[in-house]
């Protein structure tokens, strides 16, 4: 409901985030300083932050045609403020849980040709490579599955709680059966309470979720990963919002990465190539380490849960 939105004036944003330069364009506004460039478009939820596409909860509000003046508060508090004011610090040793999407009876997306390329196979390989990179960098890493087994979504979140994880990243490959031209990488974080996800429209779920406790850290994490993945992908599809189960129920900051489309012939061929999978794994690992270097205090670890991970049949994310 637009009437219930709390708006942050662009003038406040410009002053608090240190963006002294303002460039009025025909299609919107560009704010910048010596380090950052932030571009808004009139009537559009997509914006560009330091060259990376980011999807806002709401288009900027305008007083008249193309006279932009306000930004929805969740976009300011949960993305722009933490990202633009973050500073570098020595990387801490994080407890990280990595989640290879699907597995076992749940194959996930698949290519149309023969031989098939299955999402569950792609995600497991990429996740193993990410784990290797992070472990070599001194991080404490666990995976929700290390083989071709099924695991309920609830057990994936529960494992993160058991491990007192400070970070949860779920890794997937995308599918668009109705649009074989769809291509590129995108990263999802939890939508703010009261707002639907990027592609859900006004009918989407908007209730507060457990994962909303980490909205600020989610924004930092998602942006850090998408910035790295976009540099490797054929297209930057942006940082987006959703209410996937593993994001809703995450006991710590969480992101879900879609590494590319298995329904696109060219991208499926790239994902089937081990060298490209390593490039994507390197990008995800680098994004996680970038997040770890941010000086913003990391959230406290959650209390451990008593149950252990059990492999069962799972639904899609």
Look up residue 264 and give its two tokens: 């696109």
Q: Low-confidence residues of the chain, pLDDT below 70?
A: 1-3, 64-66, 113-114, 202-204, 295-317
71-113 pLDDT, tens digit per residue, is 999 999 999 999 999 988 877 899 999 999 999 999 999 987 6
Buried b (16+ CB within 10 A) or exposed e, 91-123: beebbbbbbbbbbbebebbbbeeeeebbbbbbb
pLDDT at 133: 98
Which long-range CB contacts under 8 A does 271-277 form with residues at least 24 apart? 271/117, 271/122, 271/173, 272/111, 272/117, 272/122, 274/125, 277/122, 277/125, 277/126, 277/129
- In sequence order, the β-bridge partners of residue 7 are 72
3-state secondary structure of 109: coil
pLDDT at 307: 32
pTM of the model: 0.92
Can you list the alpha helix ranges (DSSP code H) found in 54-185?
A: 73-75, 81-85, 119-136, 153-162
DSSP annotation of 103 reads B
pLDDT at 89: 80
pLDDT at 297: 55
What is the Cα gyration radius of the chain? Answer: 19
Tell me the pairing of strands 46-49 and 52-55.
antiparallel
pLDDT at 65: 64
Max Cα separation, the chain?
A: 57
Can you list the alpha helix ranges (DSSP code H) found in the chain?
A: 10-16, 73-75, 81-85, 119-136, 153-162, 215-232, 245-248, 265-271, 274-293
- In sequence order, the β-bridge partners of residue 256 are 170, 188
- In sequence order, the β-bridge partners of residue 84 are none
276-301 pLDDT, tens digit per residue, is 999 999 999 999 999 999 865 555 44
CA 116 vs CA 59, 122, 263, 277, 280: distances in Å? 40, 11, 11, 16, 20
pLDDT at 87: 85
pLDDT at 67: 81
Query: Rounded CA gap, 270 and 191, in Å?
Result: 30
């Amino acid at each position: 409901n637009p009437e219930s939105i709390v708006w942050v004036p662009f003038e406040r944003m410009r002053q608090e985030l240190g963006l002294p330069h303002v460039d009025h364009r025909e299609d919107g506004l560009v704010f910048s300083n010596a380090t950052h460039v932030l571009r808004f478009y009139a009537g559009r939820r997509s914006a560009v932050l330091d060259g990376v596409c980011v999807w806002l909860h709401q288009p900027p509000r305008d007083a008249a045609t193309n006279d932009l003046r306000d930004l929805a508060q969740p976009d300011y508090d949960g993305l722009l403020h933490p990202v633009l004011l973050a500073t570098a610090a020595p990387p801490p040793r994080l407890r990280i849980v990595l989640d290879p999407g699907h597995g076992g009876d749940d194959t996930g997306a698949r290519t149309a040709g023969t031989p098939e390329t299955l999402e569950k196979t792609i995600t497991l390989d990429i996740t193993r490579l990410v784990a290797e990179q992070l472990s070599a960098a001194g991080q404490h890493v666990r995976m929700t599955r290390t083989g071709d087994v099924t695991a309920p979504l609830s057990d994936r979140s529960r494992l993160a709680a058991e491990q007192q994880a400070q970070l949860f990243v779920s890794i997937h490959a995308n599918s668009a059966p109705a649009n074989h031209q769809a291509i590129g990488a995108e990263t999802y974080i939890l939508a703010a309470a009261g707002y639907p996800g990027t592609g859900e429209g006004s009918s989407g779920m908007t209730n507060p979720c457990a994962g909303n406790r980490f909205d600020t850290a989610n924004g930092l994490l998602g942006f850090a990963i998408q910035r790295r993945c976009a540099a490797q992908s054929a297209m930057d599809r942006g940082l987006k919002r959703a209410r996937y189960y593993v994001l809703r129920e995450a006991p710590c900051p969480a992101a879900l990465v879609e590494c590319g489309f298995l329904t696109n012939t060219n991208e499926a061929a790239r994902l089937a190539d081990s060298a490209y999978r390593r490039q994507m794994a390197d990008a995800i690992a680098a994004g996680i380490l970038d997040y770890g270097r941010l000086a913003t205090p990391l959230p406290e670890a959650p209390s451990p849960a008593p149950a252990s991970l059990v492999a069962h049949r799972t639904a899609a994310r």
